[in-house]
Structure 1
């Protein structure tokens, strides 16, 4: 899974960005300041860094300069500073793009994917597992010559499982990735959605299955 570093001293902003990116299939690691971010980069291979400017210990400009010296990854500055002088300083420090808070989630995703395309590291928009083809741009699932348009959460659930074949996820992990960390409903909603997905494809010949791992959770397996 492709990993993105999100560095911001505001945990609410980190939560919003993390939740947004995880729904798109990214793995996200978090840092509250530049010093923490550099330590994480030493341990993890990231494909992109999203960096706030105003942070304690090491600001975003300084962090961007350090990333530029040591890592070949795009940097996107995410900040409340909107003056042209601040933007100029950001680009001079080595950032690839600049997004001003408050931001539209879709705009942030557009810019993230544009940067990754530029660096040749964009996420594959489509997923193929066995005979099933999932188009993440059109939100369609194709199987045995038929196209299915699923409710959003069913689509996100099957896409997430299909993105990680043969990997077992607990209900709480699926809740976090599909419904978000602020979801306060029953974890059994995962069971309900899995049951609906199985029913949708029950009359279609296919070579994959959503397995129940007793006492643990679910896994998408290719036969």
Structure 2
């Protein structure tokens, strides 16, 4: 998910369209008054942030954001003085693009930052309030450790790598139990029920797709 904070409607719509066309999920905001709270509750992968915003300016938002989050931020602004650029970068921005800008250049920088972040954090998956560490084989929900069995962990890992996609019972059996497993698909349902129970409220992210299997993600 990419958040765009831009008060100019034309630019905001252009960014949303261009990013969506490239396959990114996008949520846009016309001012920065609610963005900090939004990121606290629903962290994004990348923030595109204008500096000159009504209500609260971009640098103030960035400084507040850096008190609790290290999500990558690209500043978009008409301010092209070296002082403004240094101020933005020293406040915690990862990149700085001045207006007017090339959409192709912006998309290239977005791709580069996300590639860098994902490469650094390839052993760590997050969705909403769920955090999964592949290397340590640990899962946290709202910051609290969750005790999962081996197969429950593997199922959650498969879900978090396929957010929004249907995973059939047969897929689960092949990928987790092994292609030569001779048991019934009912065992998948039993493990899903247990995983849902352990995830408590977050178990609602797992939805049943009738006659097919399951899907992970907010409905």
- TM-score for both structures, normalised by structure 1: 0.52
Match of 1:50 among 36, 39, 48: 48
Tell me how far 1:39 sits from its aligned partner.
2.7
RMSD, aligned CA: 2.5
Higher relative contact order by CA 8 Å / sep ≥ 6: 1 or 2?
1
Superposed CA offset, 1:59-82 (max 9, x none): 111111122111121000001111
In the aligned structure 1, how far is the partner of 2:8 from the partner of 2:53?
9
Tell me how far 1:42 sits from its aligned partner.
2.8
- Give yes or no for contact 1:5–1:48 (8 Å, CA) kept in 2: yes
- 2:30 equivalent in structure 1: 32
In the aligned structure 2, how far is the partner of 1:80 from the partner of 1:86?
10
In the aligned structure 2, how far is the partner of 1:48 from the partner of 1:87?
19
- The answer to whether residue 69 in structure 2 is matched with residue 91 in structure 1 is no
Tell me how far 1:96 sits from its aligned partner.
0.5
Unaligned 5+ segments in structure 1 are 123-162, 167-220
In the aligned structure 1, how far is the partner of 2:112 from the partner of 2:46?
11
> How many equivalent pairs are there?
128
Alignment of 1:125-144 (within 5 A): none
- Give yes or no for contact 1:47–1:121 (8 Å, CA) kept in 2: no
- Larger-Rg structure: 2
- The answer to whether residue 19 in structure 2 is matched with residue 21 in structure 1 is yes
In structure 2, relative to structure 1, the CA distance for the partners of 1:13 and 1:48 (3 Å cut) is: same
- 1:104 equivalent in structure 2: 102
Unaligned 5+ segments in structure 2 are 121-162, 167-211, 213-219
- 1:72 equivalent in structure 2: 70
Tell me how far 1:10 sits from its aligned partner.
1.1
Match of 2:39 among 21, 38, 41: 41
Alignment of 1:159-178 (within 5 A): 165=165
- TM-score for both structures, normalised by structure 2: 0.53
